[in-house]
């Protein structure tokens, strides 16, 4: 999801608070987008990755909202606090999303397995019918 760009930005200027803020906002927004997808359009793995990014964003936003550095900050501290509060709600929503996704994927796997069993049974019946017909033809030839 988000790895190359944010790591490179942090490596170039690791102490730049505006970069940290921007990374947190991007991670939070990306998580929000994944959470808003229908369960059929995402995977549990993608959802867990989004939760990891959301948690990372929460940590960054908490640190930035509590920053009392002299000389001013390159972002509005109130915005960082609001983003942090929003992120808390997003993480709560994420936990519900994970349970919904697990249920959906379990139901989907069950449907696939049931269809597979039906196909196997149909194939076995067709093979049995074929063997029966061959046996009958053998009797007719005698």
Q: Hey, where are the domains in the chain?
A: 4-141
* Segments of the chain scoring below 70 in pLDDT: 1-7, 9-11, 13-14, 70-72, 133, 136-137, 139-140, 142
Distance separating alpha carbons of residues 11 and 5, to the nearest angstrom: 10
Q: What is the pLDDT of residue 123?
A: 87
Distance separating alpha carbons of residues 62 and 89, to the nearest angstrom: 14
Distances (CA, A) of 96 to 37, 41, 65, 99, 107: 13, 16, 27, 5, 17
Instruction: Report which DSSP code applies to 13.
Output: S
- 99 near 89, Cβ under 8 Å? no
Model pTM? Answer: 0.71
Q: What is the pLDDT of residue 104?
A: 92
């Amino acid at each position: 999801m988000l790895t190359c760009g944010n790591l490179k930005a942090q490596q170039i200027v690791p102490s730049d608070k505006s970069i940290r803020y921007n990374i947190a906002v991007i991670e939070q927004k990306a998580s929000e987008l994944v959470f808003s997808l229908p369960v059929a359009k995402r995977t549990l793995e993608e959802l867990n990755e989004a939760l990891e990014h959301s948690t990372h964003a929460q940590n960054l936003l908490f640190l930035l909202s509590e920053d009392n550095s002299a000389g001013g900050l390159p972002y509005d501290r109130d915005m960082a606090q609001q983003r942090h509060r929003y992120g808390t709600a997003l993480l709560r929503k994420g936990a519900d999303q994970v349970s919904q996704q697990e249920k959906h994927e379990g139901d989907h796997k069950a449907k696939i397995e049931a269809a597979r069993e039906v196909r196997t049974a149909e194939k076995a019946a067709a093979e049995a019918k074929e063997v029966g017909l061959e046996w009958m033809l053998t009797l007719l030839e005698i």
